[in-house]
Amino acid sequence: MTVEERIERLEKMLGASSGQADIKDEIWAKKLVITDEDEVIRAMLTVVDDEPGLVIFGKDGNPRVMLTDYEGEPSLTLRDNNGEVRAKLCIFKDEPGLSLRNKNGEIIFNLP
């Protein structure tokens, strides 16, 4: 791939058809939804009931990764292809927590 092809591909990824992209210093919105070329939602950044969250969706449209801050307690949740929670990392009452589950949903590691 040539440098020109790489630049063209990068511009396409950034939404710039030609020349320099129209870059803004800030975007103000209540919700940001990002879709792929088939208009399938792939990511969403939003605030629900005063709680911020970022969700990343798989190609099938199902949520795979969730980053939230519920009542001041941050957490990262990872889901498998079936939508089952397989890993969760959180801070609860100023203490770290980590939970891992196998494909049957059984806890295989839990901290604390």
Summarize pLDDT for 64-76 with one digit per residue, the tens. Answer: 999 999 888 999 9
Residues 76, 88: Cα–Cα separation, whole Å: 6
Q: Is residue 11 part of a domain?
A: no
Q: Is residue 44 part of a domain?
A: yes
CATH of the domain at 104: 3.90.930.1
Count: domains in the chain: 1
- Residue-level pLDDT at 75: 96
Summarize pLDDT for 1-21 with one digit per residue, the tens. Answer: 787 777 777 777 666 555 555
Residue 39: give the domain boundaries: 24-111
pTM to 2 decimal places: 0.73
Summarize pLDDT for 18-40 with one digit per residue, the tens. Answer: 555 566 778 888 899 999 999 99
